[in-house]
Amino acid sequence: MATSTTARRRSAPNQATPEEAPRRQRKPSKFKRLLRTLLLVLIVIAVSVGATLYYTWPAGSALFGFAPQIDSETIEEAQPEAPVARATSKPPATKPIFSQLDPFTVTLNDGSGRSRILHVAITLRVEDEDSSILLHEYMPVVRDRVLKILSEQHPLHVQTPEGREELVDTLTAALRTPYDPNPTPPRIASVLFTAFVIQ
């Protein structure tokens, strides 16, 4: 019987015996699986990069150095007839100008005879360079105004968000008033606390 099996194998090399059938129907080789996995990963990466560029790339700008070729007729056709869109567009934003004051340390009286220490660092956001220069020229007067206002505060009141907002409003109003003999007040946009500690 063993000879008949070998004879069958020799006569029909392409036909599989029942014992060999599961071996021939094996899974794809490791190389093919690796190749398919790499191809799938590359496709996912390409789709991800494409979607990211689609949603983040500025409209009308060149992608990888290739700018779209648009002739002047197309531009004229694409422009709206009314110049309303240009009038409503905002002017380009300018960089903010900050003027940092030296930190302030003030003793606060809480009304019960107990003293508290307030340490504050203040930065002023000004609207133009002239205001920044004016504040630096009159820095002793600026510091005097701030110190007077800070020393009048109650420690429990300035620890609340409402108290800090009132303090910001008071400081803004005081610092926006003109400095003698200069009749032009500085244009202060906001008063910012960069440090605020009560001990």
CB atoms within 10 A of CB 186: 24
Which pLDDT does position 199 carry in this prediction? 87
Whole-Å CA distances, 91 to 59, 85, 125? 19, 13, 19
CB 191 within 8 A of CB 168: yes
The better pLDDT of the pair 58, 117 is held by 117
Q: What angle do CA 139, 164, 157 make, to 5 degrees?
A: 115
Domain-embedded: residue 116? yes
d(CA 10, CA 2): 13
Average pLDDT over residues 135-164: 91
Q: Whole-model pTM?
A: 0.52
Number of domains in the chain: 1
Q: Of 70-84, 107-121, 151-165, which gets the smallest average pLDDT?
A: 70-84
Domain-embedded: residue 43? no
Sorted by sequence, the CB contacts under 8 Å of residue 198 that are 6+ apart come out as: 108, 116, 117, 118, 119, 155, 158, 159
Domain-embedded: residue 106? yes
Q: What angle do CA 44, 45, 50 make, to 5 degrees?
A: 100
Domain-embedded: residue 137? yes
Average pLDDT over residues 87-96: 65
Categorize the per-residue pLDDT at 162 as very low, low, confident or very high, splitting at 50, 70 and 90: very high
Which pLDDT does position 141 carry in this prediction? 92
Domain-embedded: residue 40? no
Model confidence at 179: pLDDT above 90: no
Model confidence at 67: pLDDT above 60: no
Model confidence at 77: pLDDT above 60: no
What percent of the chain is modeled with pLDDT above 90? 35
* H-helix or E-strand spanning residue 112: none
Categorize the per-residue pLDDT at 54 as very low, low, confident or very high, splitting at 50, 70 and 90: confident
DSSP 8-state code for residue 153: -
Model confidence at 161: pLDDT above 70: yes
Domain-embedded: residue 188? yes
Model confidence at 57: pLDDT above 80: no
Domain-embedded: residue 65? no
Which pLDDT does position 20 carry in this prediction? 57
- Residue 128: give its domain's CATH number: 3.30.479
Average pLDDT over residues 128-148: 91
Domain-embedded: residue 19? no
Give the range of the structural domain holding residue 175, as residue numbers without chain letter.
Answer: 97-198
